[in-house]
Structure 1
Amino acid sequence: MVSTHRSQGFTLVELIVVIVLLGIVGTFSFSYLGFGAKIFSDAVGRDQLMSQSRFAVERLSRELRNALPRSVRVDSNVNGSCIELVPIISSSSYVQLPQPGASSDKFFEGVTPIAEPGSVMVGQYLYVYATNAAMVYNSNSPRRKVIDTITPHSSNSNLSVFSFVGNPKYFPKSSPARRFFITEQPVSWCVTPAGELQRFSDYGFHNNQRSLSQLVSLGGPMEVMAKQLNNNLADSSQAPFTASASTLQRSSLVLLDLRFGRANDTEPLRIQHEVFVPNVP
């Protein structure tokens, strides 16, 4: 007896049709997943860019607001790619100031300054009435002294007596407000052609502001504060830093114009921020 049962299966045409349909569905599925992954990656990248730019602007703004009056300067010869300042450790008022003449041999006596925990004032710099950049930065500025010792006053616990390294130990001018400032060495922030925001410190005092290449050659500590900047340093309209002198109506003004961008990003991030710097020495 011959069996009439027929084997069940797929024809070649049916298999080809199924493979084509699965390919089409897979292509759209992977495209959708890839698009979602691109959106996620783009959002993460933008968030990282925003975070680092906020950190850099906030750190620089704090240093500018805590800068020695009249110490902020920007070198216009390199389209404002570097800004320099002298950071304050502490400030206070003096009660006795050695000056030329009969008082030149007196001690410098002042209200004991308060500094941040861990700050060391001995070996740092004391300023009295430095009213321009030359008085702040010149290597032999008579209005800046290096602190040798700080000792408690013999009869007043609120006062301290300061002695200084080298000569002369007197100051040529007194401050109308009887103020003095204790500072560290200058600090510079620079935007590099490679798109980094770098901070330089402990490179000493120089009459003229140092350029990026000169700061690198001096060999002081350098920190990278931000990356992915795309300011065109050859274009003065894209200068990262601009400093305006103080007037009778306002303090010194620093304009930050930092432009960030990622590779293949059509929406760059531009941050413009104004910082007012105290100008009463």
Structure 2
Amino acid sequence: MRLKRGFTLIELITVIVILAIVSLGVFSFVSIGTRIYVDVTKRDQILSEARFVMERLSRELRRAVPNSIRISDNYRCIEFAPIAWSSFYEDIAVSPEPATDEIELASLDGYQREMNDRVVVYPLEPEHVYLAGDDHNVPPAADPVSGNTLTLAFAHQFATDSPASRLYIGRQPVSYCLLGNNQLTRHTGYAYRDVQSESPSNAGIGPGVLMANYIINDPLDANDRPFRLESATLNRNALVQLQLRFELNEELVVFNSEVHLPNVP
């Protein structure tokens, strides 16, 4: 006669406890692995955004009209006028000469006009680029280019000649602004303004395009400002210092870049 065998209560409880411990260990291992993966993914996202915005901004600044770069009084926005075209002129109307709306250039081959394009000659400071009025803008309607003759919107007198007879056509301004929600946005599609705005909300320059998140710079701290401009000296051209601090999940990444501006008036 065979004896019937089975688990005792103690054996059953022991097995359940062992399975629970093993399951807890496996869950913890998977949880830690998942957390590490998520953290690495977010870190890569921050690094990608940071590299992209630093490279994009640096390239655009190098292509800016000389002395068109300006930083707002609260250090949250940097603005500049991209170069649409540059050439040498034969002659321009300089006060007290009569104003004229035509300029003879060495070449205009390849120039494609856009809204708010502006002619700039020998700009020594931002005020020379962002002058109020549009009499030295390229007209948006009709074709302003005939051969090597550039026609302005209205007759205009320039403040001074360029020693090298160099002329720039600036595209509509571009602004990069650090918002209060730790986002960096790019704004364009607006007209030239003599007074720079301290924020997009009261500037009429539109909502902008998001370029980066998680930027925690404090512009009120002189050592933590995202944008700094150093004017040209006898020994070097002007340069812009960029410092963006990114933070996510208490992990800090700092990007610094020094952009040398090759263009001269």
* TM-score (normalised: structure 1): 0.85
Q: CA deviation at 1:179?
A: 0.8
Gaps of 5+ in 2: none
Q: CA deviation at 1:26?
A: 1.0
- Give the match for residue 38 of structure 1: 35
- Give the match for residue 128 of structure 1: 121
Identity fraction in percent: 34
Question: Which of 222, 225, 238 is 1:252 aligned to?
Answer: 238
Amino acid at match of 2:137: V
Alpha-carbon distance in 1 for matches of 2:101, 2:126:
28
Question: Which of 71, 85, 94 is 1:90 aligned to?
Answer: 85
Shifted more, 218-227 versus 268-277: the winner is 218-227
Q: CA deviation at 1:214?
A: 4.7
- Give the match for residue 172 of structure 1: 159
Residue 145 (structure 1) aligned with residue 136 (structure 2): yes
Alpha-carbon distance in 2 for matches of 1:18, 1:54:
54
Alpha-carbon distance in 1 for matches of 2:76, 2:96:
44
Decide whether aligned partners of structure 1 residues 52 and 88 sit closer, same or farther in structure 2, where only a CA change above 3 A counts: same
Question: Which of 94, 100, 105 is 1:99 aligned to?
Answer: 94
Q: CA deviation at 1:104?
A: 4.8
- Calculate the aligned-residue CA RMSD, in Å: 2.2
Contact 1:246–1:279 under 8 Å retained in 2: no
- Give the match for residue 204 of structure 2: 218
Decide whether aligned partners of structure 1 residues 53 and 91 sit closer, same or farther in structure 2, where only a CA change above 3 A counts: same
- Give the match for residue 220 of structure 2: 234
Alpha-carbon distance in 2 for matches of 1:191, 1:114:
38
Amino acid at match of 2:224: Q
Q: Report SS of the residue matched to 1:198.
A: strand
- Give the match for residue 268 of structure 1: 252
Decide whether aligned partners of structure 1 residues 219 and 248 sit closer, same or farther in structure 2, where only a CA change above 3 A counts: closer
Contact 1:96–1:107 under 8 Å retained in 2: no
Q: CA deviation at 1:236?
A: 2.4
- Give the match for residue 71 of structure 2: 74
Alpha-carbon distance in 1 for matches of 2:113, 2:101:
24
Decide whether aligned partners of structure 1 residues 122 and 170 sit closer, same or farther in structure 2, where only a CA change above 3 A counts: farther
Gaps of 5+ in 1: 154-159
- What is the number of equivalent residue pairs in this alignment? 262
Amino acid at match of 1:7: K
Contact 1:100–1:171 under 8 Å retained in 2: yes
- Which digits, 9 at most, give the CA deviation of each residue in 1:227-270, with x for residues without a partner? 111112332221111111110111111111100111x23x3110
Decide whether aligned partners of structure 1 residues 33 and 8 sit closer, same or farther in structure 2, where only a CA change above 3 A counts: same
Q: CA deviation at 1:98?
A: 3.1
Question: Which of 209, 224, 231 is 2:196 aligned to?
Answer: 209
Q: CA deviation at 1:187?
A: 1.3
Decide whether aligned partners of structure 1 residues 91 and 194 sit closer, same or farther in structure 2, where only a CA change above 3 A counts: same
Map 1:108-123; keep pairs closer than 5 Å.
108-115=103-110, 119-121=112-114
Amino acid at match of 1:161: T
- Give the match for residue 57 of structure 1: 54
